[in-house]
């Protein structure tokens, strides 16, 4: 009785999961599901897969805690875009996936947006919208643009046309002045754009039919979400300026909480708003992909055990899976450098791990040069985070405290957004 729990969903590229947390952030339940395969003609019916997965996961929530859930949020893949009927909410078109490029729209988008704006890439939400708009021509039903997370949240609350300023960044929303910019407002498709709230803001109560069917309370509130990578950052609870998360997956991605907003398209560096702060990020092509080309995960573990992390490695590499780097060096032709290879694989791996750490240090240095708050502490996520020796090497090279993040699941970050929404009123 009286316990308040928070439910967060993460909709990733291959499946979805949820986490339920209490007021102290302790996990009370979690589950995950792969997306079922539904073919619609030749192609996967993504919308049906997502919808079905959402309701299957609701059924996976343990019965005894459902009535204690007071707020729900969802994160989705950034720039995954749906065009829906503005009366029924049903998709009018197959969804545009996060990584899909609509480069046909790029010349038009470049002609209306400021130079080097985030929307000036073929996979931006705005390019997807413009591509659809031009393709469909004059015979259009009243339509609305939603991001993946917005549409899934709508299935739960039923109020059409709401998003958050993290998801809206790639359609051109300006989070600094908190409005769509004038160059977008004057476009003929402006009326398709959703209204924008801060992530973790209550939208409406859970639809009665959903609440009744699954046994959630009727004043359970559904609130705005965010993108998957921001939710993963939130999970690490790096909530002070100067705290950062390095993600060591296939690539090396860094995110730093900063008091200042920085953007530099040469390096692919941009900032997301998080309340009164900025989440600054950039991604290098170095990372685990090259490790996986050279070693199995088992070899990585065995070889790493033998590394002495307090000893600097003299080997100076630039490990890349193929030519080309964006951040912290903007050079589309930068060649991988992995030679000379010592006979001893422990020394080789040590040199690679240390070289990646030097790239990480350079990345944080560059963010500072571009005007971001100085990094003070680094949490680590991704497959490389379990490597204790690498953490020690990175501490030495970065000259900062480095640790593995306690929580790295985006679903946990979404649950924190639901917690944030609790105690806030639903905006009228």
Chain contacts with ligand ADP (rule: CB under 6 A): 249-250, 288-289, 291-292, 297, 300-301, 304, 382-384, 386-387, 390
Torsion, CA 22, CA 158, CA 56, CA 225, rounded to 10:
-50
CB of 66 to ligand ADP, least distance (A): 31
Q: Please say which residue, 291 or 410, places its beta carbon nearer to ligand ADP.
A: 291
Q: Which of 425, 407, 428 is nearest to 416 (CA)?
A: 407
The per-residue b/e assignment along 158-178, b for 16 or more CB within 10 angstroms, e otherwise, is: bebbbbbbbbbbbbbbbbeee
Quote the CA–CA distance of 116 and 102 in Å, as a whole number: 17
Separation CA 167–CA 340 (nearest Å): 44
13 or 423: whose CB is closer to ligand ADP?
13
Q: 306: which strand partners? A: none
Cβ proximity to ligand ADP, 124 vs 229, nearer residue: 229
Exposure string for 181-206, b = 16+ CB within 10 A, e = fewer:
eeebeebebeebbbebbbbbbbbbbb
Residue 68: CB minimum distance to ligand ADP, A: 32
Q: How far is the CB of 246 from ligand ADP (least distance, A)?
A: 12
Q: How far is the CB of 408 from ligand ADP (least distance, A)?
A: 9
User: C-beta of 354: minimal distance to ligand ADP in Å?
Assistant: 12
* Closer CB to ligand ADP, 156 or 252, in the complex: 252
- Pairing between β-strand 5-11 and β-strand 15-21 as defined by DSSP bridges: antiparallel
DSSP, collapsed to helix, strand or coil, labels residue 154 as: helix
Strand-pair category, 243-248 with 277-284: unpaired
Q: Closer CB to ligand ADP, residue 78 or residue 258?
A: 78
Q: In this structure, are residues 262 and 201 in contact, taking their beta carbons and an 8 Å threshold?
A: no
Task: Give me the least distance between CB of 243 and ligand ADP, in Å please.
Answer: 20
Q: How far is the CB of 290 from ligand ADP (least distance, A)?
A: 8
Contact 412, 22 (CB under 8 A): no
249 vs 371, which CB is nearer to ligand ADP? 249
Smallest distance from ligand ADP to CB 167, Å: 21
Burial 63-72 (b: 16+ CB within 10 A, else e): eebbebbbbb
Torsion angle defined by CA atoms of residues 401, 407, 409 and 415, in that order, rounded to the nearest 10 degrees: -130
Based on CB atoms, which residue is closest to ligand ADP, 98 or 173?
Answer: 98
Q: Which is nearer to ligand ADP, 196 or 300 (CB)?
A: 300
């Amino acid at each position: 009785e009286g316990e308040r729990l928070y439910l967060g969903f993460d909709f990733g590229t291959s499946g979805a999961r949820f986490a339920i947390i209490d007021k102290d952030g302790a996990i009370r339940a979690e589950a995950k599901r792969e997306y079922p395969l539904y073919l619609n003609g030749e192609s996967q019916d993504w919308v049906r897969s997502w919808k079905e997965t959402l309701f299957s996961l609701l059924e996976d929530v343990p019965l005894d805690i459902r009535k204690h859930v007071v707020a729900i949020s969802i994160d989705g893949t950034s720039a995954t875009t749906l065009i829906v009927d503005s009366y029924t909410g049903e998709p009018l078109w197959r969804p545009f996936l996060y990584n899909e490029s609509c480069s046909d729209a790029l010349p038009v988008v470049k002609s209306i947006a400021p130079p080097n704006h985030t929307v000036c890439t073929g996979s931006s939400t705005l390019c997807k919208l413009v591509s659809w708009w031009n393709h469909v021509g004059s015979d259009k039903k009243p339509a609305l643009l939603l991001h993946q997370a917005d549409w899934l949240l709508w299935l739960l609350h039923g109020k059409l046309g709401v998003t958050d300023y993290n998801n809206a960044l790639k359609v051109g929303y300006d989070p600094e002045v908190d409005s769509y910019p004038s160059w977008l407002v004057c476009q003929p498709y402006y009326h398709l754009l959703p209204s924008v709230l801060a992530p973790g803001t209550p939208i409406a109560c859970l639809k009665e039919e959903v609440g009744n069917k699954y046994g959630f309370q009727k004043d359970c509130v559904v609130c705005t979400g965010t993108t998957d990578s921001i939710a993963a950052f939130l999970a690490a609870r790096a909530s002070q300026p100067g705290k950062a998360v390095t993600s060591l997956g296939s690539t090396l991605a860094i995110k730093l909480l900063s008091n200042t907003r920085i953007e530099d398209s040469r390096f692919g560096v941009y900032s997301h708003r998080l309340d009164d702060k900025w989440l600054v990020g950039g991604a290098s092509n170095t990372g685990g992909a090259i490790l996986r080309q050279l070693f199995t995960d088992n070899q990585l573990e065995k070889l790493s055990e033998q590394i002495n992390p307090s000893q600097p490695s003299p080997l100076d590499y630039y490990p890349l899976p193929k030519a080309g780097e964006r951040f912290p060096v903007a050079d589309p032709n930068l060649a991988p450098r992995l030679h000379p290879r010592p006979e001893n694989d422990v020394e080789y791996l040590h040199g690679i791990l240390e070289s990646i750490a030097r790239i990480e240090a350079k990345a944080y240095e560059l963010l500072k040069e571009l005007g971001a708050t100085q990094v003070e502490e680094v949490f680590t996520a991704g497959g490389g985070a379990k490597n204790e020796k690498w953490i020690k090497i990175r501490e030495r090279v970065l000259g900062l405290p480095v640790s593995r993040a306690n929580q790295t699941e985006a679903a946990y970050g979404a649950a924190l957004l639901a917690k944030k929404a609790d105690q806030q009123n639903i905006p009228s």
